[in-house]
Structure 1
């Protein structure tokens, strides 16, 4: 039998933590059944019942009813079975009470452990619910520790009551982090099989750049300026296309800020990563030309059937348009959603065709 105080404790947990007394009793009964099987190795299934009023423990085993018992571990006499269940017949299987005296102390220990573990789980669940209300948002944390694993270094951050886990694939390549460092990260989701309340976070996700821009730029917060598209290669470069939702606002200028102060704040959070702000255009020709910034584009030809844009650039702009290892062209394609072919043309032809993209506002650009 468990102490009566145990039931009072369950009532208190139900009132203060909102965990039902019956669910706790069910967990206790399941744990006690497992412990009893390990301790006494009964030959058949057993059932444990804890009285919700008195904390009395009853353990029942299954026995076959027989006229004469030859194996007490699996059989019960007809007379004994009828005392509990009148009308029972030989051959039927009935539940009979099993001795609990040798199990009392172990039962008390296990019951406390089960309740304490459930309380810890409930606290973890509540912390995760509170934290994951901000899923997809940017949060600030402090690096607690850095652990070496076979797939790289995993960074653990303090995020209030929860712990953030920054996996190797979610880190900015070559970024050097140290314990005690403050970081802004994107909140992803719950970390399955994590110890305690752990959540996955990212610094490589492109949405982090969006959140940083929204944090630094009031016009994005108010909706006066809108981010129309964003492409990112973490640690190297991002391209962001913006448009104004309100007349009289220069969307690129609003994002860059006076003397580049706003975009520098964003880049400062990303280390050496470069962030290009370009004006959005509904016409694909103009959009592709803008996306290839800082290269100057003479003209763009659009093949809607194959969704291919052919950008013609002056010879001296070819390497700039393509970018190191094709990075500028690759990001422009991601940003616009068009497959982009870049072709050089002589300087004279480029000047003659410059009118194809004349009037395109110059893109904003900031380096880390």
Structure 2
């Protein structure tokens, strides 16, 4: 490769791949210096200067002037330096131009390595930039590796990027295998202290379900039906509150679909996870009643100041209202923003009876005292 050809190739790469030519030249200068030292056995420091204006490549071997005895061949004593340059002082660089015996070969090999690396870096940076724009979106992926720790690596379809699906972002009970085609939620791009970026993906995030509804429900996708809030315990249950500004739109019906077709498609993607679609209300009591579905609620006592609610349900609906492990009540609380205390009807009545009897007893004692 002639010098002119090399510089013209750099111009082409800059134009085609939008890589700054000055950065390429800096990388090439460092690579050529290293290659020359290795090839020639030169013990001194080597610097390379590439001039794109006149297509020249110059090599310099130099030593740094030091006070005292040199520690290695990169250094030169002040006394020796003044034999070469009478006015030399500590810190000066004393050297000469050197000519590699096989510059064309060294330049060609180094250029190939440097340019290949920079192109790979540029492609990765471009792909990462595109992934930043996909944050919060759903994308198709293929499982490529399952680590012993349970972490799954996926290839994100349509990109050159690999995503990381940690165990904490997987759906409980879900078993993934190499080759499986899955949907993933692009959660965030994480960059470590070495500058390496990784695409973190999720299947357990509430945003994953939100995006599924946008895909399956045209009214949600268009904004006719809005998702006010959504909470999820991945693998078990999701609750989402929906509404529409158009009174003619059936928000719940739109999400459920004809014969449940839309919500069932989502449930299938979630491997059978229960999904409760609730009509949002700006009336806290009404919203809490709906959020506790499918349980029936008899009464709601609100403390709006402390964001607390006491909910009374039929005795035979208590377990349904609370849910296994308290899940239904917990999700309802997260959905509404209220701390919810669920009580059976019989317990509330018993408490009222005790209070009434206590009041009667106090009244009788007061009469006796008179």
TM-score by length of 2: 0.80
Indicate how the Cα distance of structure 1 residues 293 and 106 shifts in structure 2: closer, same or farther if over 3 A, else same. same
Structure 1 contact 297–312 (Cα < 8 Å) conserved: yes
Unaligned segments of structure 2, at least 5 residues: 351-370
Structure 1 contact 2–57 (Cα < 8 Å) conserved: no
Q: Secondary structure in 2 aligned to 1:210?
A: helix
Task: Please provide the CA RMSD for this pair.
Answer: 3.3
Structure 2: how far apart are the matches of 1:34 and 1:339?
67
Tell me by how many angstroms 1:77 deviates.
3.7
Indicate how the Cα distance of structure 1 residues 291 and 12 shifts in structure 2: closer, same or farther if over 3 A, else same. same
1:12 equivalent to 2:12? Answer yes
Structure 1 contact 36–103 (Cα < 8 Å) conserved: no
1:125 equivalent to 2:125? Answer yes
Q: Which has the higher contact order (CA 8 A, sep 6+)?
A: 1
Match of 1:353 in 2: none
Aligned length: 339
TM-score by length of 1: 0.81
Structure 1 contact 166–200 (Cα < 8 Å) conserved: yes
Match of 1:145 in 2: 144
Q: Secondary structure in 2 aligned to 1:165?
A: strand
Structure 1: how far apart are the matches of 2:91 and 2:178?
67
Unaligned segments of structure 1, at least 5 residues: 83-87, 351-368
Structure 1 contact 171–203 (Cα < 8 Å) conserved: yes
* Mapping for residues 1-368 of structure 1, pairs under 5 Å: 3-33=3-33, 47-52=47-52, 53-64=54-65, 73-75=75-77, 76-78=80-82, 80-81=84-85, 88-91=87-90, 93-97=92-96, 99=98, 101=100, 104=103, 108-141=108-141, 143-149=142-148, 151-162=149-160, 163-190=162-189, 192=191, 199-346=199-346
Structure 1: how far apart are the matches of 2:36 and 2:188?
38
Match of 1:357 in 2: none
Structure 2: how far apart are the matches of 1:347 and 1:329?
18
Q: Secondary structure in 2 aligned to 1:128?
A: helix
Structure 2: how far apart are the matches of 1:258 and 1:296?
25
Q: Give 1 or 2: higher helix fraction.
A: 2
The more displaced of 115-124 and 217-226 is 217-226
**1:102-148 Cα deviation digits (max 9, x unpaired):** 7955565333211110011111222222333222111223x242322
Structure 1 contact 14–20 (Cα < 8 Å) conserved: yes
Structure possessing the higher radius of gyration over alpha carbons: 2
